[in-house]
Amino acid sequence: MRKIRVLIVDDAVVIRRLLTDIIASDPLLEVAGAAATGSIGLAKIPQVNPDVITLDVEMPGMSGIETLVEIRKQYPLLPVIMFSTLTARGAGATLDALALGASDYVTKPANVGSMTAGIQAVRESLIPKIKILCSRITGNAAATRPSAFTPRLSSATATARVDVLAIGVSTGGPNALAALLPQLPKDFPVPIVIVQHMPPVFTKLLATRLNSKAALHVAEAHDGARLVPGTAWIAPGDRHMEVRRAGVDVVLSTNGDPPENSCRPAVDPLFRSVATVYGKRVLALVLTGMGQDGLRGSEHVRDAGGQILAQDEATSVVWGMPGAVAGLAERILPLDEIPIEILRRVRIGRIATSAPASVEVHP
């Protein structure tokens, strides 16, 4: 088995050195080359034949976004991981890059002068993403999915009322949510709670962008927010999000409890809490993402009698999270069919609401 070849494109010498050290520390990876500008990086691709590129978002001259656009024109299937700053500007550029075809992103250490913690954080985030995106080389493609599964077909939930939609998503999530949420009507009859694996700043900007595209209201979650129909709440970066009873209402609660599945926010705490509060009236949805976050929470939803849907492998950027819950899911669907299935289920026991904005729903 050959090593995964990584091309580093970053204008900062200290970051190129940091990434070189991190990549060289793993026996399955090697640095194929490094470039200080986007134009040099583009010229090096045919020379060094990389399997994946790490690309700085903000560079003088040819920006990371401009470089990505050219990469996608010439090498549409070459994985590209953006390397961005943990700032509003960096978050905006990263979301733009994901919309333009970047495979994933990693955030730079907040202070490169304090290297130990920064290097460890980047290593823990970057190396697994490289290996998953290049699983065809490592031969571990099957490691992210169950060897066999049978969707859980339950007649008991065929007529069950749904009172909340809970969504868990990670790698590929911003684009998946941008495709899904605008298909739901403004008068969507239940609240939506979402965990997207993202750091602070990124989640607020993501919510703002989704709110501008969707008919329903999308916002970053905060403590005490009351769950009402037609509103989608996204967990804030670095905070777990749960739901709890407050008299006759259900409200949001965020906390800094330890990460679960190496994530904060994590899907499992949200799914556990909706199962506790709503019981069998939960519809859980697991979309594209790396790892298995959401599996344990989905077990709680199943045990409470709730319903589970998962995105299919063909339309997922990474079929780790949805693949992990495939054996618990009642249906495994391509992304473009999920809005119809959601609406079908939330309409049970209610007067029919509007159809999705750009799809036709037949009774």
Examine residue 323 and state whether it is found in any structural domain, yes or no: yes
Laid out side by side, the sheet with 4-9 consists of: 29-35, 4-9, 52-56, 80-84, 104-107
- pLDDT for res 73: 97
Q: What is the pLDDT of residue 290?
A: 94
The amino acid that residue 176 corresponds to is: A
What would you report as the CA-atom Rg of the chain, rounded to the nearest whole angstrom? 21
Return d(Cα 32, Cα 9) in angstroms, integer. 11
For residue 351, is it within any domain? no
187 CB neighbour count, 10 Å cutoff: 11
pLDDT value at position 1? Answer: 76
Residues 94 and 73 in one domain: yes
Annotated active-site residue in 10, 197, 253, 300 = 197
Per-residue model confidence (pLDDT) at position 158: 58
Q: CA 293: distance to chain centroid? A: 11
Whichever domain contains 231, its CATH number is: 3.40.50.180
Q: Are residues 331 and 208 in the same domain?
A: yes
Q: Exposed, middle or buried, 56 (CB in 10 Å: 0-12/13-18/19+)?
A: buried
What's at 68, amino acid-wise?
A: L
Using an 8 Å Cβ cutoff, are 363 and 336 in contact? Answer: no
Q: Considering the candidates 170, 253, 273, 316, report the single residue annotated as catalytic.
A: 170
User: What is the DSSP annotation of 301-361?
Assistant: HHHTT-EEEEE-TTT-S-BSHHHHTTTT-SEEE-GGGHHHHHHHHHTTTS---PPPTTS--
> Residue length, the chain?
363
Residue 53: give the domain boundaries: 4-143
Q: DSSP 3-state assignment of 116?
A: helix
Query: Are 25 and 96 within one domain?
Result: yes
Catalytic residue check, 39: no
Q: Does the global pTM surpass 0.75?
A: yes
The yes-or-no answer on residue 293 being catalytic is yes
Task: Give residue 294's region: left, alpha or beta (phi > 0; psi -120 to 50).
Answer: left
Strands 52-56 and 217-220 come out as unpaired
- Is 28 contained in some domain? yes
pLDDT in tens, the chain (363 residues): 789 999 999 999 989 998 999 999 999 999 999 999 999 999 999 999 999 999 999 998 999 999 999 999 999 999 999 999 878 888 999 999 999 999 999 998 765 555 677 788 889 999 999 999 998 876 654 444 443 444 555 544 556 899 999 999 999 999 999 999 999 999 999 999 999 999 999 999 999 999 999 999 999 999 999 999 999 999 999 999 999 999 999 999 999 999 999 999 999 999 999 999 999 999 999 999 999 999 999 999 999 999 999 999 999 999 999 999 999 999 999 999 999 999 999 999 886 544 454 433 333
Round to whole Å and give the CA distance between 16 and 106: 14
Q: Among this protein's residues, is 26 annotated catalytic?
A: no
**CA–CA separation, 147 vs 144, rounded Å?**
9
In this structure, the answer to whether residues 115 and 182 fall within a common structural domain is no
CATH number for the domain that contains residue 134: 3.40.50.2300
At 325 the pLDDT is 97
Which one of the listed residues 51, 268, 293, 312 is annotated catalytic? 293
Is the separation of the CB atoms in 345 and 307 below 8 Å?
yes
